[in-house]
Amino acid sequence: MILHYAPNSRAVRVAWLLEELEIRYDIKKYSLGDKEMRLPEYLRINPLGRVPVLQDKDIIISESGAIIQYLLTKYAENQFVPKIEHENFSTYLQWFHFAEGMIMPQMNIIVVETIFLPPERKNDTNLKRATKLLSKMLEAVESHLSDREYLAGELSGADMMTGHAVIMSEKLGIDFTDKPNLKAYTKRLMKRPALQKAWHL
């Protein structure tokens, strides 16, 4: 199994789960924007030229949420996913998909406007709107965590998706001063040895 990985990317989610499951894997490491990801041999496994990509024998998957679902279905053996009849199953689905549906679209705009665009192309209106919307999305997570440590009961794939997005929001500079539950949540997640290793591959 090979994981194509870059620091501070969605590939961290995949590495985190692989480490939690103690699955042996090889890593191919890039930096974000690496020219190697635009070469024909890389574009054959991911035409978008992005990470993560997971290669498991003849299977190639390049969407982080799909990779997480694949690994949980094939290798987790009832870890990190509530059973379908469990009361937390629908909650798990909600927060598993919240990351890409609600948090990451705003984060993508912020990253582009603050990091990737040259000064003459930056749009302050776009940045302010995305920051405001991201804060609103994070307030929903803050409220949900008012009476629980993890998003769907015990640690689950939902935390690897949305928890990772919350951590990235904080690293991006979003103010968590008025979000004590998120502050405690990110600290709780970052104490996990598997995530610490995934973050520093």
From 106, 116, 101, select the one nearest 32 (Cα to Cα).
Answer: 116
pLDDT at residue 55, rounded to an integer: 98
pLDDT at residue 60, rounded to an integer: 98
Residue found under tokens 């409220």:
143
From 4, 1, 7, 52, select the one nearest 200 (Cα to Cα).
Answer: 7
What confidence tens digit (pLDDT) does each residue in 79-138 have? 999 999 999 999 999 999 999 999 999 999 999 999 888 999 999 999 999 999 999 999
pLDDT at residue 115, rounded to an integer: 86
Compute the distance between CA of residue 112 and CA of residue 114 in angstroms, rounded to an integer.
Answer: 6
What confidence tens digit (pLDDT) does each residue in 36-45 have? 999 999 999 9
Q: Is there a shared CATH topology between the 2-75 domain and the 89-192 domain?
A: no
Question: CATH topology for 2-75?
Answer: Glutaredoxin (3.40.30)
What confidence tens digit (pLDDT) does each residue in 125-181 have? 999 999 999 999 999 999 999 999 999 999 999 999 999 999 999 999 898 999 999
Query: Could you state, in order of their start, the residue ranges of all structural domains in the chain?
Result: 2-75, 89-192
From 195, 128, 148, select the one nearest 167 (Cα to Cα).
Answer: 195
Q: What does pTM read for this prediction?
A: 0.95
pLDDT at residue 22, rounded to an integer: 97
**DSSP H helical segments within the chain, as ranges?**
11-21, 40-43, 64-75, 89-98, 104-111, 124-144, 157-158, 164-171, 180-190, 193-199
Residue 54 phi/psi, 5-degree rounding, is -110, 130
pLDDT at residue 50, rounded to an integer: 95
- Is residue 114 within 8 A of residue 153, CB to CB? The reply is no
In 25-38, which positions are buried (b, 16+ CB within 10 angstroms) versus exposed (e)?
beeeebeeeeeebe
From 154, 141, 147, 152, select the one nearest 186 (Cα to Cα).
Answer: 141
What confidence tens digit (pLDDT) does each residue in 40-79 have? 999 999 999 999 999 999 999 999 999 999 999 999 998 9
The CATH architecture assigned to 89-192 reads Up-down Bundle (1.20)
Kindly indicate the confidence band of residue 33, based on its pLDDT and cuts at 50, 70 and 90.
confident
